[in-house]
Structure 1
Amino acid sequence: MANGTGGTRHSWRTRAARVLLALCALTALFATATVPARAAVDTAPQAAYLADRLRENPVHVTDQLPREVPRSTARDFAEVAERTGVPTYVLVLPSLSGAEPGLLDAVHARLGRDGLYVLLDESRVTDAVAYGVDAPADDASTVALYELPYDAGPLRRFERFAEVVAQGDAKAAARAEAAREKYDDGAEPANAYIGSTDRGEQSAFTGVLLVVVPLLILVLVPYVRRWWLRLSQAPQPKGAKLTKQGKQGKQNKQAKGPVVPKASRALRWSVAVLALASAVAIVVAAPRVYGQTRSSWSPPPRAFELNARLDRVVQGLAEDPVYADPESPRVLDAAQLDRLQSRIGAFARSEGGGPVFVSLVPQLMEDESGGDEAAFAAAIHDKLGEDGVYVVADPLNGSIDVFNYGLRLDGYSLAFELPESITVGDANAVEADDHLMGSRLAALMSVLDKTERSDEPMTADSPYPVTDAVREDELPPLFGPDFWSALFTGVLVAGAVFGVVAALLGIVGRVVRRRKPKPAV
């Protein structure tokens, strides 16, 4: 009995221990499963790189935004930084590149210099911290955000930021509070720049005005003159209509109203000159009134600025098949990078394989390729001059695109049949800070290993032409197609205005004549 009871107790304890072990195992399993979704990027290499750039120059402007913030603007940022009155270090990076919290803290720790650290992106001041100096960084950021229009641009916002910092703590705080209250009341500043649609409206209005004003002068001045003379003449007696003696009687019988003398030559010339002068005035004044020629604050980028990032990527790929952008958070750790390089080497030695070049570089609308991965890959291939599989992996948004240049691989499957779990990632990849880039690139290499080999080398289709970065911000000319097409509209508008004026004058004339006393017979 004792043995049986003891056995039962031992069995119960064993089962409880097993349940406990199972629960622990499940907990560990769920914790392990959720780790990839919470995987964090490594910002230490990024901070070290940026600190080195600031050690060389207190202003670093990225080469990844040439369409919006060309590197030539670094001198302008440096001049503004001197107005703060304290040592100022400026970083201009793509918005998502500087999104990791504590980036300025890490850069400051690496650089080891006190001062005002300011982080800007392609449109605004995103972060500012004062280390060891007295500067109202938060209030200055608030003023720069609320006092200026949305499209003011980072340089103008930084100018406002520096202006507020130089005012000191008290004035900066008061100004920030006033700006915040004004913005909360709905008083948002109007945009500083116009677009192509606005320019088209300006051109059309100018064309209509150029026709309407001179044409109305030419037709309305003589018409109003005749109307006024007829209105000011006294009505003829009824007896005059019954007179049939001689020519006077015939003229009176045929006349339908008062006889208006013809306008003098001087008056006719004056009207013509006035109409011509109005046309010239409109042509001269319109470009001054509508003086904007660009839709952005940004100056046109130069050739070296459009090639700067491509050149450094190509230089990196010439030394290593995997290039990670140093300005962006690292999404591959050392172990993942070693495994990827090993897989790339194995694929290069395989039958029908070849080189694989992986660019872990952001793809942005403001970059040299306009955010077009195909154009970026084609440019890298042209500059590197070596056939292979070119992989463009964006460390900021997590996308992966693959382009084959000259290898015997089935191009259709690479272009259209890659799993979405690789190209855009699943839900876990979307949530993860590193977008699970290591495992997805490993999966891509597995797909490449299994991709059907073709009899002949295949090459990706040529990318669509990229918008001209030098001229994309230029507004259409004021006297362009919209202006010329509006000239006919101007004729119609002038006719309509003339009809309305004539009708109103006719009504006024009838009313006035009815109120005038009739002459005695």
Structure 2
Amino acid sequence: MGAVLRAGLTLVTGWLTVLFCAGAVQAAPAGPHAPGGPTQFAYLAEQLRRSPVHVSDQIPREVPRSTAPAFAREARRLGVPTYVMVLPHASYGTAADGLLAGVHDRLGRKGLYVALSDTGLEAAQTYGVDLPGTADAVTEAVYAMPYDATPREVLRHFVDVVTSGEAHQRAEEARAAYDDGGLDEPPGLHTDTTERENQSLVTGIAVLGIPLTVLLVTVHALQRRRVRRAAAAGGPVRGPGARGGPQGGGRTAGGRTTGSGRQRPVGGPGPFPRERLLPLMLGAAVLGGLVAFTASQIFDDTTSGDGSRPTAADMRARIDRVSAGLRRDPLYLDPESRSTLDSTERAHLSKRLRELDVPVVIAAVPTPPDDESGGSKELLAKEVHDRLHRNVLMVLADPATGVIELVNYSTLIDDSYLVDRPRDLTYTGPAEEQLGRHLDELLTYVDKAPRARTGGRPYDPPPAADPVEEKALPGLFTGDFEAGMVLGTFAAGLVFGLVVAARALARRLVRRGRPAGRGAGGAAAPSAPDRPTPAWLRRTARQDLDALTAALEASASLPEEARRRAWECLDAAALLIDGDSDGRIDADATPVGLTCAVVLARAGRTAIEEPAAARYVCHRNPLHGAARRPAPGRPAGGPARSLPVCETCQVTPGPVLRLRSPGSGGRGAYAAYPTLTGPLAALGDGVGIDQLTLDVREYFGVH
């Protein structure tokens, strides 16, 4: 019985020993090679125990600690206990999930744990709670968020995806877009300095280029209209320099000039009036102001971040923490960074620091570019030294990069000796386990340093950039804005030239593509409305007379009959519309006279181009041109007989030409031309062109 009892006690004792040993092994701190190390886990767990959001004091330029309430508001939207850590990217190492697990083990609370850094979302993991879509939201955020998204914006996006109920679908879409090459890099959320310069350039081009283009095109269009109106109101009537027909130029019986006595053409309407240009320029200036105002509303960013501004307390928080730690112990290890020294190495280095006859302190802290010093180790050392208020040789060791920096503040050590130290005492390399050994070797090297008579002091480093001004964007109307205005001027000229060329080409294509009827002899039938307006008559009269004059000047050899008829048509037309013999259409020229001049000018052209078809014109509408074939008709008050018509009216009789009465001032009712006073009415009876020219001469008393 006693043997059995002893055996039972031995077995129970053995099991208890195993359990205690297992518990001791589990509770033992991780070694120096374990990711994160117990110091980092314990420190972060303690911070989250105080507040569910911990923002590192090492990146105040990117994520100020004062923005922690904003992170907390986003986290509360998830509806589960959420613990958020915002640390420098280097603090996570290669296993952010392991850091979350270690912090959760130390904290011992259920919930969602989120790890954010200055580069984005590192990891998110649930412990003891059910939150569907967490893993998919992490994937979607990694693929979809742009490079310049701030941690607060990343967390907001992560929460939006989780609460949308479509986390899996959105994650698959983002992954597919990235795998297919369609999403190389999401567009940025914020405007940076380079983009602001581009905005200024574009704004300068638009502010000057758009109004100037509108001004040039408008002035050109108005000037073209002035030219057309001037031509319609009585543009210059060209006459040949010397008459080659049988009748020479000279004074007529009525005191008029014919032939060579006709005046040469005069200029157009002149330059664009200044009094009309000034309002257009004012309108262009107003348009430029509107463009500038619109650009300022579109490109309204004033900073390149999410608007977070660090306070003075944010900027000095880490300096105060490191300084306080160095007052307690000459060896300070950053608790937010991965542990690089085990307890034995820490104790050994602390002991050696106290035994040196030269005051030396070691601060193993990272220097990210978004810290209070802007990534400057010299400035960090100066800020810490200013708070220590004593002479000291400061050693800054970056646990992330392995770089070791020495800054001597008035200790009696030869500075050149420190500068010439071996390379392995300046850069330890990526192997984190080497940092403790190299720091120990550095202390040995310092202990052997030759002493100087007086202590040196480094030059004060330049101050770091102001965090607010660093994020501020230059004004929209600065920088490349002036260069944009210069480019806008050239662009306006280019666009104006293209517009003018396009309009000219369009007019030419329209003329070529416009269907033209065929007149007598196969020639293209001229434009012949049955109710022409006074403006059309003035413009057409000038054009047709110019064309007849040019044709006469270009015709060196013509049959005598054709030359005589063409010159008689030109002289008769001039009598009708150029009574002042000044080379311009008279202001009081009537619609009947203008129409008769057009008919004569076209008949003269026909006499030159096809003499056989120039004797008669269409009696229904003389503007139709030459007529060869007679058709049954009834002149006013006369018996039915054959009257000349053009080929078109031979097939389908067109409407009779109707003109406004001479005394209506261009605003009266239209009447059939045979009923109106003047030589033109004779064409309704079928008279020929030769008779019409005689009637015109007799009408004006010219023989």
Query: What is the TM-score when the length of structure 1 is the normalising length?
Result: 0.82
Could you tell me how far 1:304 is from its partner in structure 2?
0.7
**Alignment: residue pair count:** 469
Q: Which moved more, 1:242-251 or 1:138-147?
A: 242-251
8 Å CA contact 2:93–2:338 kept in 1: the answer is: no
Aligned: 1:178 with 2:173? yes
Alignment of 1:142-161 (within 5 A): 142-161=139-158
2: CA distance, partners of 1:419 / 1:96 = 26
Aligned: 1:331 with 2:329? no
Write the letter of the residue equivalent to 1:186: G
Partner of 1:119: 115
Partner of 2:42: 48
8 Å CA contact 1:329–1:395 kept in 2: the answer is: yes
Could you tell me how far 1:423 is from its partner in structure 2?
1.4
Q: SS at the partner of 2:473?
A: coil
Could you tell me how far 1:118 is from its partner in structure 2?
0.8
Could you list the per-position Cα deviations for residues 7-49 of structure 1 after superposition, in whole angstroms to 9, with x for gaps in the alignment? xxxxxxxxxxxxxxxxxxxxxxxxxxxxxxx944551111111
2: CA distance, partners of 1:244 / 1:323 = 118
Aligned: 1:98 with 2:108? no
2: CA distance, partners of 1:247 / 1:205 = 63
Could you list the per-position Cα deviations for residues 267-318 of structure 1 after superposition, in whole angstroms to 9, with x for gaps in the alignment? 5454233212211101211111111222222512111101000010001111
Aligned: 1:408 with 2:412? yes
1: CA distance, partners of 2:168 / 2:343 = 46
1: CA distance, partners of 2:441 / 2:134 = 45
Write the letter of the residue equivalent to 1:397: T
Partner of 2:389: 385
8 Å CA contact 2:239–2:263 kept in 1: the answer is: no
2: CA distance, partners of 1:231 / 1:392 = 85
Which of 307, 315, 318 does residue 306 from structure 1 map onto? 315
Write the letter of the residue equivalent to 1:127: A
1: CA distance, partners of 2:113 / 2:468 = 31
Which of 207, 210, 214 does residue 210 from structure 1 map onto? 207
Aligned: 1:259 with 2:269? yes
Q: Which moved more, 1:383-392 or 1:217-226?
A: 217-226
1: CA distance, partners of 2:198 / 2:160 = 36
Could you tell me how far 1:199 is from its partner in structure 2?
0.8
1: CA distance, partners of 2:496 / 2:382 = 60
Write the letter of the residue equivalent to 1:77: F
2: CA distance, partners of 1:286 / 1:402 = 51
Could you tell me how far 1:163 is from its partner in structure 2?
2.5
**Larger RCO (CA within 8 A; separation ≥ 6):** 1
8 Å CA contact 1:69–1:298 kept in 2: the answer is: no
8 Å CA contact 1:231–1:509 kept in 2: the answer is: no
Aligned: 1:436 with 2:434? yes
Structure 2: 5+ residue stretches without partners: 1-31, 243-248, 515-523, 527-542, 549-569, 571-703
Partner of 1:201: 198
Aligned: 1:87 with 2:81? yes
Query: What is the TM-score when the length of structure 2 is the normalising length?
Result: 0.62
Could you tell me how far 1:191 is from its partner in structure 2?
1.2
8 Å CA contact 2:120–2:150 kept in 1: the answer is: yes
1: CA distance, partners of 2:316 / 2:250 = 96
Partner of 2:668: none
8 Å CA contact 1:43–1:103 kept in 2: the answer is: no
8 Å CA contact 1:217–1:274 kept in 2: the answer is: no
Could you tell me how far 1:501 is from its partner in structure 2?
4.3
1: CA distance, partners of 2:296 / 2:503 = 35
Could you tell me how far 1:209 is from its partner in structure 2?
2.1
8 Å CA contact 2:82–2:113 kept in 1: the answer is: yes
8 Å CA contact 1:231–1:513 kept in 2: the answer is: no
Could you tell me how far 1:193 is from its partner in structure 2?
1.6
1: CA distance, partners of 2:457 / 2:63 = 34
Aligned: 1:424 with 2:434? no
Partner of 1:463: 461
Could you tell me how far 1:363 is from its partner in structure 2?
0.9
Partner of 1:481: 479
2: CA distance, partners of 1:373 / 1:148 = 32
Structure 1: 5+ residue stretches without partners: 1-37
Q: Which moved more, 1:307-316 or 1:476-485?
A: 476-485
Aligned: 1:239 with 2:253? no
Write the letter of the residue equivalent to 2:106: R
8 Å CA contact 1:85–1:166 kept in 2: the answer is: no
Could you tell me how far 1:421 is from its partner in structure 2?
1.1
8 Å CA contact 1:46–1:328 kept in 2: the answer is: yes
8 Å CA contact 1:389–1:402 kept in 2: the answer is: yes
Could you list the per-position Cα deviations for residues 228-259 of structure 1 after superposition, in whole angstroms to 9, with x for gaps in the alignment? 44367478654277799999999953625x43
2: CA distance, partners of 1:299 / 1:250 = 88
Q: SS at the partner of 2:122?
A: strand
With over 3 angstroms needed to count, the CA separation of the structure-2 counterparts of 1:303 and 1:152, relative to structure 1, is same
8 Å CA contact 2:238–2:265 kept in 1: the answer is: no
Write the letter of the residue equivalent to 2:134: A
1: CA distance, partners of 2:35 / 2:450 = 34
2: CA distance, partners of 1:290 / 1:94 = 31
Aligned: 1:59 with 2:57? no
Partner of 2:104: 108
8 Å CA contact 1:128–1:137 kept in 2: the answer is: yes
8 Å CA contact 2:43–2:335 kept in 1: the answer is: yes
Please give the root-mean-square deviation of Cα atoms over the aligned residues, in Å.
3.0
Partner of 1:28: none
Write the letter of the residue equivalent to 2:264: K
Which of 451, 454, 462 does residue 452 from structure 2 map onto? 454
Could you tell me how far 1:414 is from its partner in structure 2?
2.2
The structure whose Rg is larger is 2
Could you tell me how far 1:109 is from its partner in structure 2?
1.1
8 Å CA contact 2:236–2:265 kept in 1: the answer is: no
Could you tell me how far 1:397 is from its partner in structure 2?
1.6
Could you tell me how far 1:196 is from its partner in structure 2?
1.1
2: CA distance, partners of 1:247 / 1:455 = 119
Partner of 1:24: none
8 Å CA contact 2:36–2:92 kept in 1: the answer is: no
8 Å CA contact 1:357–1:388 kept in 2: the answer is: yes
Write the letter of the residue equivalent to 1:491: T
With over 3 angstroms needed to count, the CA separation of the structure-2 counterparts of 1:74 and 1:391, relative to structure 1, is same
Q: SS at the partner of 1:459?
A: coil
8 Å CA contact 2:44–2:336 kept in 1: the answer is: yes
Partner of 2:297: 288
2: CA distance, partners of 1:229 / 1:43 = 88
Aligned: 1:373 with 2:377? yes
Could you tell me how far 1:435 is from its partner in structure 2?
4.5
2: CA distance, partners of 1:368 / 1:112 = 33
